[in-house]
């Protein structure tokens, strides 16, 4: 058991910060592409928005699965290393 796992500068905090940064980036990307798809009426921007929205939904699903596994106590730590 790592005694620094719950500290503000521990590895779990770094993983949580990285995950929140990725989520923030995906939300901003989706919002910007939605705005550009609406204002430019470009088909390409509409496809880029659809891809970014699907990526956002997939990442939120992944985070929900990770939280569910942590709550159930099933955690072997394989995803925390990446």
Distance CA 74, CA 79 (A): 12
CB atoms within 10 A of CB 52: 20
> What digits encode the pLDDT tens for the residues 30-55?
999 999 999 999 999 999 999 999 99
pTM for this entry: 0.73
> What digits encode the pLDDT tens for the residues 51-68?
999 999 999 999 999 888
Distance CA 79, CA 71 (A): 15
> What digits encode the pLDDT tens for the residues 16-25?
999 999 999 9
pLDDT at 13 over 50: yes
Tokens of 53: 């929205």
The reported pLDDT for the residue numbered 76 is 61
């Amino acid at each position: 058991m790592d005694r620094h796992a719950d500290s503000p500068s521990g590895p779990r905090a770094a993983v949580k910060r990285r995950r929140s940064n990725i989520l923030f980036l995906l939300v901003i990307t989706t919002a910007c592409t939605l705005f550009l798809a609406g204002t430019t009426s470009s088909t390409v921007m509409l496809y880029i928005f659809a891809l970014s929205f699907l990526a956002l939904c997939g990442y939120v699903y992944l985070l929900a699965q990770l939280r569910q596994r942590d709550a159930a106590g099933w955690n072997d730590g394989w995803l925390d290393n990446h």
